[in-house]
Amino acid sequence: MSGQDSLAHLRDLTRAFARERDWEQFHTPKNLAMALTVEAAELAEHFQWLPTGADHELDARKREGIRHELADVLLYLVQLADKTGVDLHAAAVEKIALNAAKYPAGQVKGDSRKYDQYD
Amino acid sequence: MSGQDSLAHLRDLTRAFARERDWEQFHTPKNLAMALTVEAAELAEHFQWLPTGADHELDARKREGIRHELADVLLYLVQLADKTGVDLHAAAVEKIALNAAKYPAGQVKGDSRKYDQYD
Amino acid sequence: MSGQDSLAHLRDLTRAFARERDWEQFHTPKNLAMALTVEAAELAEHFQWLPTGADHELDARKREGIRHELADVLLYLVQLADKTGVDLHAAAVEKIALNAAKYPAGQVKGDSRKYDQYD
Amino acid sequence: MSGQDSLAHLRDLTRAFARERDWEQFHTPKNLAMALTVEAAELAEHFQWLPTGADHELDARKREGIRHELADVLLYLVQLADKTGVDLHAAAVEKIALNAAKYPAGQVKGDSRKYDQYD
């Protein structure tokens, strides 16, 4: 990466990839969001009939499929963030802070219920 | 970030967040993959009735929602990659190279059809 | 159908299909819900790079794919409703009535904003 | 239903609902497909942190949410099939026959692997 941050690097790679193919015309935020849900589902498909998806449940073929689908999700995510002007890292750090306030560690320990189900 | 790469930083933050809440027990790869599809759909929901999702179609409320959902997708993606031992940046760089071979720029210019529809 | 309602007929067919393959063990409500999101995404994939999905944008190959994916979604939906004891037709009629109250025709005419954005 | 088949009844109800609100303009096949994935994910959200989604894991609140989301998925499915000219019941019966040929009961008994993983 020669010092460039990984997310910035991927943003640059995806920009070049789309430009070289004249695919920017298809990459509206709406289309990218739709493509992202499709890739997320293809990722989920690898796990749907497994008990938990733990390492010993996965063979080499599944591992490769999972790695490729994780990549596809990230690539569309980076492109959608780029089109909507969102700094992904900053947004994620902000969201973790919001989640920490919504689910205080002392209150939700070991409990997976959604925050709005707490009284 | 004090020099740490953004994706490594988010991996560390999500690990600490889950550990402090004793939520690691819920974070099987399967459950994280399912949560990822849910967040991807919440992101898509912001765009579903819009023509394209371009800037002028979005008000401040929608922008904030989109930023938060982009973050949620990334946070689950980082956690799922962590659990399955995948280096997200390396996987994405590998996938771009595979996509470049599958969709040669000279052949697919301006055409959005899936690669398996080319003769 | 010899008089049997279409949804009841499909419920009977899916029950027999799963029983003959001893697949009931995999058909937990959670797994069926996950499979449903995967099929819904495969359906969406046919439309993601199209302007609107109108008839003239679809060739015979896409039409067949769409028909099969619509079927897959319905089949998982019928199975999930069966496992959770939900009468799909009654639930849909109930939901239309709730939607009609939430989005009064006179108030939302020609406006696609979500109901919670109305004052 | 006074004799009308349940799926035909829901098709008629959704047509009237959209027409009364002048929402047909938003109901392109693409938008309906996207809305369907969103509703499928909202349905999945009810199950994502549960072990299996079996009856004893669900309280009254979750049951109601599941019933409403099952209905939402069906309503978008009925509308998308209507717009693309697909007879949902016939398509599902056809797909079950295709699945039966792809996964012969004698060969796949108790095995959830995808058909393309069989030799």
| pLDDT for position B101 | 95
In order, the DSSP letters of A46-89 are TTTTSSS--GGG--HHHHHHHHHHHHHHHHHHHHHHHHTT--HH
Q: What does each of the 119 residues of chain C score in pLDDT, given as a tens digit?
A: 457 999 999 999 999 999 999 999 999 999 999 999 999 999 999 999 999 999 999 999 999 999 999 999 999 999 999 999 999 999 999 999 999 999 999 888 888 777 666 55
pTM: 0.94
B77 contacts: CB under 8 Å, gap ≥ 6: A70, A73, A74, A77, B36, B88
b/e for B69-98, b at 16 or more Cβ within 10 A? Answer: bbbbbbbbbbbbbbbbebbbbebbbebbee
Domain ranges of chain C: 3-104
CATH 1.10.287.1080 fits D3-104, yes or no: yes
Q: How far is CA D8 from the centre of its chain?
A: 15
Q: Do B49 and D31 touch (CB under 8 A)?
A: yes
ipTM: 0.94
D2 burial level (CB within 10 Å; 0-12, 13-18, 19+):
exposed
Say if residue A6's pLDDT is above 80. Answer: yes
**Tens digits of residue pLDDT in D77-90:** 999 999 999 999 99
Q: State residue C116's pLDDT score.
A: 64
- Is the model's pLDDT at A118 over the cut of 80? no
- Which residues of chain D lie closer than 8 angstroms to A49, CB-CB? 112-113
| Percent of the residues in chain A that have a pLDDT greater than 70, as a whole number | 93
pLDDT at D1: 44
Of D84, D72, D88, the C-alpha closest to C9 is D88
Per-residue DSSP letter, D116: G
* C115 interface with D at CB cutoff 8 Å: no
Whether residue B1 has pLDDT greater than 60: no
Question: Tokens for B61?
Answer: 């409320």
- Residues in A touching B7 (Cβ below 8 Å): 6-7
More confident residue, B108 or B39: B39
Q: Phi and psi for C99 in degrees, rounded to 5?
A: -65, -40
Q: Is A99 helix (H, G, I), strand (E, B) or coil?
A: helix
pLDDT grade, residue A117 (50/70/90)?
A: low
pLDDT at B21 over 50: yes
The tens-digit pLDDT sequence of chain D (119 residues) is: 457 999 999 999 999 999 999 999 999 999 999 999 999 999 999 999 999 999 999 999 999 999 999 999 999 999 999 999 999 999 999 999 999 999 999 888 888 777 666 55
Q: Output the pLDDT for position C12.
A: 98
Best of C21, C22, C24, C37 to substitute, by most chain A Cβ atoms within 10 angstroms, is: C37
Q: Which B positions 30-89 lie with beta carbon below 8 A of chain A?
A: 30-31, 33-34, 36-37, 40-41, 43-44, 46-48, 50-55, 58, 63, 66-68, 70-75, 77-78, 80-81, 83-86, 88-89
Say what the pLDDT of residue B115 is.
Answer: 62
| pLDDT digits 0-9 by tens, B49-100 | 999 999 999 999 999 999 999 999 999 999 999 999 999 999 999 999 999 9
Using CB atoms, pick whichever of B37, B49, B112 lies closest to residue C49: B112
Do residue B33 and residue A10 have CB atoms under 8 angstroms apart? Answer: no
Least Cα distance to D66 among C40, C81, B60 occurs for C81
Q: What is the pLDDT of residue A1?
A: 45
Tokens standing for residue B114: 């899936």
| Mean pLDDT, residues A70-94 taken together | 98
Which positions in chain D touch B50 (Cβ < 8 Å)? none
Alpha helices in chain D (DSSP H): 6-21, 29-45, 60-84, 88-102, 105-108
Query: DSSP 3-state assignment of B93?
Result: helix
* Residue of C85, D32, D109, C51 whose CA lies nearest to B48: D32
